[in-house]
Amino acid sequence: MAKGNNSDYKKMIDKHYKDLMKHCQSHMEQVEKTLPEPRENLHELLKERGITRRDFVKWTSAMTAALMLPPIFKPMVAKAAENFSRIPVVWLHFAECTGCTEALLRSSYPNVDDILLETISLEYHETLMAASGYQAKECLDKALRDFSGKFICVIEGAIPMGLDGKYLTIGPKGKTGLEIAKEVTSKAAATICIGSCSAFGGIQAANPNPTDAVSIKKAIGIPTVNIAGCPPNVVNFTGTLLHYIMFGGLPAQDGLGRPIWAYGKRIHDYCERRPHYDASEYVNEWGDAGALKGWCLYKVGCKGPYTYANCGRVRFNEGISWPIMAGHGCIGCTEPAFWDTMAPLEKPLPDKSFNNREATVDNIGIALTGITALGIAAHATATALRHKDEDQATKQEVKHHE
Amino acid sequence: MEKIISVKEWTLAIRLNHWAMALSIFILIVTGFYIATPFTITQGETVDKFFMGNVRFVHLLFGVFLVFLFIWRIYLAFFSRFHADWKDFLAFTNIKNFIHQIKFYLLITKEGPEYKTLYGPLQSLAYLGLLFMVFVICITGLILMGAGYHAGLTSVAYTILRPVENLLGGLATVRYIHHVFTWFFVLFIVVHIYMAFWYDFVLKKGTVSSMISGNVFKKVKE
């Protein structure tokens, strides 16, 4: 759009947002009509937990901005939060450490995000549910029957494909993870993969990957929204769910299925230590003078330049801190196969060694250049000897001409 | 009676392209190694310093320069008005000449093979390899550049190349390939400069100066 047509551009944007607003409003009405009543009254719950109305409004502003929506959507975000517990959720665990659940549900000072996740209408969650064995299986079957095509399937963990998937069997009937995942996702309205394991395979898919673990997308071949991270930020998960409640669809994603609003820019682009990078001020080893001054962690292996995530903007634990702020480089946990591609985690990328040996690409490069130089010296000497007579012939010719 | 005449071998465009690429690649290797393993500047205030920023600016400037030089070289190979040399890059397919050339380089024979193409059989393979190296380093470089800059042609290139990034396995792998290929350039330059001087010494055709003057010397019988 040309700069001269600024008003046209503004009109276009206004119209776009007005349409979006209309869509949002009609969808919310639909939600209120069709989905079950909210399980809990959010405002009472917030009051109980000592979160004031003012805090809640502040949270809606932050969330609206995080979702890259203009301020007119603030009331809609608040409304979506009130309706948050209407959406039935089935939460599946596969090959993983349950760290994502821990990170999302446990915090010392629960903020609105955490409380929202507590209100979530969890029809099935292996870690949190009281039922076990056959009862648990019944819970899952009931959820699938009651909310077929309406619930959101959240998956935590990769699926081992080796031995026909028998590295992972769950429940009283010993079903494999692959079978459960296929059965549940086929009835879900949408599938959200939480954590790098379900999104990209994670640690069990790292080299040598003994169980042949793969991501949900690769295992079943369905489109998934990947909330990558190890663990991911709670804001990225609640934001995606809020987006789903508000617009009835999942947010725009990049080529790897990560929501662009959260994973559209690199850690490096928004890093608070970035000015030190550009100023050539680096921490050379842990605890040196640069580390005390908060300089750039590039040389102690920060992988921020290769990692798409919004950690620096939203931070963790109610915005208290995040890894780079705490003094350790990014390990690139939102990227596919990061255990392999980002290794070594505390050294710059070129210091990766081959086949578990010591040599890095720079060692090999220097050695090869040295060998080449020696070869050249030898070849030059041999050439001088071999083509000696021609050289003398030329000299004689020159003399002859003189 | 033998006479030595001067014969045109390299067009002006090829020579300009060669030296512009040589300069760009040299600057890119130096700045690239700084970006890979930077030294810390401890003196002075942070606000007064922008050394890495400046080095990266030079690196990106000559990197984009190299992209356009590469496109120009490919254009010349197919559409040059004087000598479109794309067929000459396939000189290595002549197996007989190929083996003869190796013998010549290993000093087993004193005379090299006769060929009418612009490049010898091994040369053609080396230069095809060089073009491939330039291609890979440009693609990976554009991905790394596009990851940080979101405007203009860079963003257009990045939008196109993002699937390549995902295919290679993320920016970290792209960055690693970029680093490994830098070493290939270092090795190429060492061998390339030696071979140019070696040709000059053995064949006495003025190979080194031909990339400046455009002409080589030939003996002809009157």
CA distance B179 to chain A (A): 7
Domain membership of residue B4 (yes or no) is: no
Domain membership of residue B209 (yes or no) is: no
Q: Is the ipTM beyond the 0.95 threshold?
A: no
* Full pLDDT tens readout for chain A, 402 residues: 445 567 888 888 889 899 999 999 998 888 888 877 777 788 888 888 888 888 888 888 888 988 888 898 999 998 888 888 888 888 899 999 988 888 877 665 667 777 777 777 777 888 778 888 888 888 888 888 888 888 889 999 999 998 888 899 988 888 899 999 999 999 998 999 999 999 999 999 998 999 999 999 999 999 899 999 999 988 898 889 889 888 888 888 998 999 999 999 999 999 999 999 999 999 999 999 999 999 999 999 999 999 999 999 888 877 788 999 999 999 999 999 999 999 888 889 888 887 667 788 898 999 999 999 999 999 999 988 888 777 676 667 666 666
Domain membership of residue B6 (yes or no) is: no
Residue A400 touches chain B, beta carbons under 8 Å = no
Question: Is the CB of residue A86 less than 8 Å from the CB of residue A38?
Answer: yes
CA distance A247 to chain B (A): 26
Of B107, B171, B180, the CB nearest to A306: B171
Mention every residue, 6+ apart, whose C-beta is less than 8 A from residue B190.
A369, A372, A373, A376
Q: Which residues in A lie closer than 8 A to residue B162 (C-beta atoms)? A: 254-255
Using CA coordinates, name the residue in chain B closest to A376. Answer: B194
Q: What is the pLDDT of residue A399?
A: 67
Question: Residue B220 phi/psi, 5° resolution?
Answer: -130, 150
In chain B, the number of structural domains is 1
Q: Which residues in A lie closer than 8 A to residue B202 (C-beta atoms)? A: 383, 387, 390
CA B37, CA B40: separation in Å to the nearest integer? 10
Q: What is the pLDDT of residue A1?
A: 43
Domain membership of residue B27 (yes or no) is: yes
Cis-peptide into A208, omega within 30 deg:
yes
Considering only CA atoms, which of A338, B124, B185, A84 is closest in space to residue B113? B124
Domain membership of residue B219 (yes or no) is: no
Q: What is the pLDDT of residue A401?
A: 65
| End-to-end CA separation in angstroms for chain B | 6
Considering only CA atoms, which of A195, A173, A188, A174 is closest in space to residue A95? A195
Structural domain containing residue B78: 11-202
Mean pLDDT for the stretch of residues B112-130: 87
CA A310 to chain CA centroid, Å, is: 9
Which CATH number does the domain housing residue B43 bear? 1.20.950.20
Higher pLDDT, A394 or B125: B125
Of the residues A295, A306, A340, the best mutation for testing chain B's interface (the one with the most B CB atoms within 10 Å of its CB) is: A306
Domain membership of residue B89 (yes or no) is: yes
Domain membership of residue B207 (yes or no) is: no
Domain membership of residue B173 (yes or no) is: yes
Residue A397 touches chain B, beta carbons under 8 Å = no
Mapped onto helix, strand or coil, the DSSP state of residue A146 is helix
Mean pLDDT for the stretch of residues B61-90: 92
Q: Which residues in B lie closer than 8 A to residue A344 (C-beta atoms)? A: none
pTM equals 0.90
